[in-house]
Chain A
């Protein structure tokens, strides 16, 4: 019911489209068009098309479009447009269709002759212009409008500089770049650099050009020359980082460190980070080599249990630490892959180390390792469990790696805040810990509810026993 006017409209649409179907002849198409013409007032645009179309009576379709020699065709069309513009400035569909099969008529010859005259004139003008120095303003306007221009007549240095300075005041990127490149091409390097230093805006455009053209050496040189050594260092570092081969990468990082970061006192902080980066890569390289071999041999259990999903090289520090905790946890500190040695070299904070180590050992199901890791020597040689990240987080991690309930319960007990402990016990589904926490909270109703909810479990029996225990004082 809502389709009524919609369909009428759609009908027209499809009809209009049909013109372009291959199986519709020109005559038929024309018929459709001419009838559509009286259809609707809204279609003014289409009307215009039709008027033009019906006037070109010589339209005929031939299988292969006729070509008048590649490049000539386009200008010809331009001319044709120029002569036809009168009422309608935009090229219409019919016109476009028309040219597909246009026969080579006398009109075309005329047009082409006209065109030849026009082009000759242009050529002459261009030849003349080539040797006359145009005013700077005019040339710049041409650049900005995307018209042809020539800069080779600006031969004196002051001409080149005035071109550049004027371009800068016009704030047009294209013009500035053109002027800078012209200067660069035609003057001595020292002069170029000297002038560039006086013109920061021009320098920025030149730098953008170098960046875009991946001319890194020149980019770094120019930045250093401009006194922007920090940027130069970063560019160089980025370049070194994008090196694929690990050995080349390490050596280009070293070169970058020496040439840029160590030379600049303000970059001392970054220099130490880059030294760390190099050390990390040099650590990863031998580990990767030996582990890849071991894994390929297929005799080492840990690689069978946990197949390596990534090559170690180029991984960040904490990922490397995780990897080494997973595969090489018990190595001595003097070994490359020793977690403790990584921690020391990269000055990892205790919390970060514990977080990563616990996760890795939980994945390896090394529960005793975790216990040892978290054991701290107390006063008088006593032993005590301590976690820098808090036991709540430990439980979280263990739960994520599906630790068994007795392990979870052990650490749950160490969560000091009872509410948090209860939430965690619920989350990890540690029923015993839930009851114990409820008892600690003296929450009899809670225990009763537990007994009801999990009535079929062993823990429910424990809950009922707790409820019978008269020694407990409830809230």
Chain B
């Protein structure tokens, strides 16, 4: 069943199980309408669904046509059913309504219409459809509860890019409900999680919702042996600094530069070496997950270490190809031939990653990148944060991308515990004058979520020192601390996870009190029959050194650099135990800041200059 998803099952927690679960549920859902069907896809869903099912599978279930959801009318087709697969978003309802109106005026052969909401029906959307007078045209309105998509053996994403904005800007906590629900799904599959820790308002809300959902089940709890020991839920507002910083791991940089979308990126084809018989293809899709063993090795490395690994691998593979000259007997030849497919695959992957690394290097070697990085390093070390920084001014004068300017200013604001009024006003005016008055809204939004704020109580220095966020002398090749992912800065969020594992949060109570939002601690009772016999009488069992499994859930998104730091942490002996990371979405500074823009702010990418 799990075709093309072997990489999901390679960790202690078999996430292939989750994928299979969704796959079954999805097929059941579309099978409810009989006969040939066309699926109309919300663009935001094609990527995630690609990770759980493939087109051939849908074809087997009589899906004959697939259309993207667009305004206007649907392309002609002679299927019996039209299935709209959509997220519960009002703007999409408009499009669906238009499609239906057109379809109905067309007349002719009568089709049946079905609507499937992912992950959940929404009252608002249904109302909208009723207002538009099309709700009655649907034979069925269903929901398909897919909230947490397995990206890799240790990574899950809800793919809700607007979760942060919705929660902290608009006070709309629907995504938190989905998060709680997805955690219930996980518990149904992998057993109840005994210990829950959390920090932040949303974390508390999620834990409360989980408690309620559990109460509602009233004893019908999953009879599954618990596989996850601890759950840590972190609000993004607890650590707003980390996602703003330039990620310096391989995967993090790829995401910042090209944007990884559902574990794949599109690259200019001509840069990926000679492509046999693929003329006219402008971009090529590259899938990035641990199924590619080379990528699995490279992804979490500091970019400065990538070059040497790639070249070592290249030498190795050349040597292995060279073995065929040494092969004399038929037996040796046979052995070589049996290795050949693997060798060829490795060589292909090596070529791909060499090209990607070159593209990344072009960006990281550029002056503007180095300057911005230097400026960032000054800020996080608490230098030059209380005055207008010349680089910021220059970026504005050059009309560089607004998200870059905002990024630097927000970093400065956080590291200075808020900007002095004079500095704030200066930046505000310059931004508005260069990027347009409409950005009053953007700046207002940033203030609302706390990324930009007026000068307040001094906490950054205390937090920085007590959690050892700044680490001098990091070894980028053979790191000894998580700080390698930002070349000298240890992500606050990951430090919290590290302290939780050892020696425990009690040791950092003071710092936790400085961070926003409440601390949450909860123990969920596990039926005696399902309890693990830890520290049991038979010493033989404990000596097997069974490792603890912790799930870390980021509300408001996580960056690839943080994921890398967590993976690094899991490999360290003193922390011990495996980690699984889940998040509302994978974010970068750009994606986070773009979502803060008011919707009336058209981007002024090209000015007459």
A residues in contact (CB < 8 Å) with B? 1-2, 13, 16-17, 20, 45, 65, 67, 70-71, 73-74, 77-78, 89-93, 95-97, 99-100, 143, 146, 170-174, 177-178, 204-205, 207-209, 211-213, 234, 237-238, 241-242, 269-270, 273-274, 276-277, 280, 308-310, 314-319, 322-323, 326, 346-349, 351-352, 355-356, 359-360, 363, 389, 393
Contacts and interface: CB of A to CB of B under 8 A. Distances in A.
B81 to A, nearest CB: 10
B90 A20 contact: no
Q: How large is the interface on B (under 10, 10 to 19, 20 to 34, 35 or more residues)?
A: 35 or more
A77 B1 contact: no
B159 interface: no
Contact of A351 (B34, B90, B174, B393): B393
Given A74-B139, A99-B35, A208-B170, A213 B177 contact: no
Given A17-B60, A204-B171, 15 more contacts: A20-B59, A20-B60, A20-B62, A71-B139, A74-B112, A171-B177, A173-B123, A173-B174, A177-B123, A211-B170, A274-B440, A309-B608, A322-B608, A323-B608, A352-B433
Interface in B97-146: 110, 112, 121-124, 128, 139-140, 143
A410 B394 CA distance: 23
B132 to A, nearest CB: 12
Given A2-B341, A170-B212, A274 B437 contact: yes
A77 B32 CA distance: 8
Given A73-B112, A171-B205, A318 B441 contact: no
B337 interface: yes
Contacts of A100: 34-36, 80
Contacts of A349: 426, 430
A24 to B, nearest CB: 15
**Majority secondary structure of chain A interface residues (helix, strand, loop or mixed):** helix
B462 interface: no
Contact of B433 (A143, A171, A270, A318): A318
B52 to A, nearest CB: 16
A90 B32 CA distance: 9
Interface stretch (B289-297, B324-332, B565-573, B599-607): B599-607
21 contacts: A2-B340, A17-B60, A65-B35, A67-B110, A73-B112, A74-B33, A74-B112, A74-B139, A100-B80, A143-B123, A146-B121, A204-B171, A209-B124, A213-B128, A238-B438, A238-B600, A241-B441, A280-B437, A316-B437, A317-B432, A352-B434
B608 A273 contact: no
A389 B112 CA distance: 67
Nearest to A80: B34
Those 4 A-B pairs whose CB atoms lie nearest each other, nearest first: A317-B433, A91-B31, A277-B437, A204-B171
A389 B397 contact: yes
Contacts, number: 181
A269 to B, nearest CB: 8
A332 B59 CA distance: 72
Interface in B412-449: 425-426, 428-430, 432-438, 440-441, 444
A316 to B, nearest CB: 4
A96 B34 contact: yes
B173 A171 contact: yes
A12 to B, nearest CB: 13
A93 B60 contact: yes
A100 B64 CA distance: 15
Given A174-B122, A238-B441, A319 B608 contact: yes
Nearest to B36: A100
A99 B62 contact: no
Nearest to A239: B600
A78 B140 CA distance: 11
Interface in B384-417: 393-394, 396-397, 399
Contact of A316 (B205, B212, B426, B436): B436
Contact of A208 (B28, B56, B172, B340): B172
Contacts of B74: none
Given A213-B128, A276-B437, A277-B437, A96 B62 contact: yes
Contact of A212 (B124, B394, B434): B124
A438 B110 CA distance: 84
B209 interface: yes
A316 B600 CA distance: 14
Contacts of A96: 31, 34-35, 61-62
B434 A318 contact: yes
Interface string B51-67: 00000100111100000
B15 to A, nearest CB: 21
A234 B441 contact: yes
Interface in B427-481: 428-430, 432-438, 440-441, 444
Contacts of A89: 28
Interface string B22-58: 0010011001111110000000000000000000100
B212 A65 contact: no
Contacts of A356: 397, 609
A235 B604 CA distance: 21
B441 to A, nearest CB: 6
Contact of A17 (B31, B59, B124): B59
A348 B437 CA distance: 14
A322 B438 CA distance: 19
Contacts of B172: 173, 204-205, 208
B348 to A, nearest CB: 14
B598 interface: yes
* Max chain B C-beta neighbours (<10 A), residue from A89, A90, A93, A310: A90
Nearest to B33: A74
